[in-house]
Amino acid sequence: MSFQNIVEGYRKIAFSEHDKGDRFERLMQSYLLTDPHYTSALQEVWMWQEFPGRKDFGGRDTGIDLVALTTEDEYWAIQCKCFQESAIIDKPAVDTFLSTSSRTFLNEQLETVSFAHRLWISTTNKWGTLFEKFQTKEAYYGAR
pLDDT by residue for the chain (144 residues), tens only, comes to: 777 777 777 777 778 778 888 888 999 999 999 999 999 999 999 999 999 988 888 766 678 999 999 999 999 999 998 887 777 787 777 888 888 899 999 998 899 999 999 999 988 777 777 555 555 544 444 433
Closest CA to 85 of 113, 123, 133: 123
User: What's the CATH number of domain 3-142, 1.10.1740, 3.40.1350, 1.10.3470, 1.10.10?
Assistant: 3.40.1350
Say if CB 48 and CB 54 are below 8 A apart. Answer: yes
Kindly give the pairing relationship between strand 112-122 and strand 104-106: antiparallel
For 92, 129, 131, 133, the CA distances from 136, given in Å and listed in that order, are: 17, 11, 9, 5
Q: Phi, psi at residue 62, to the nearest 5°?
A: -125, 5
Separation of CA 95 from chain center: 13
Domain ranges of the chain: 3-142
The overall pTM is greater than 0.75: yes
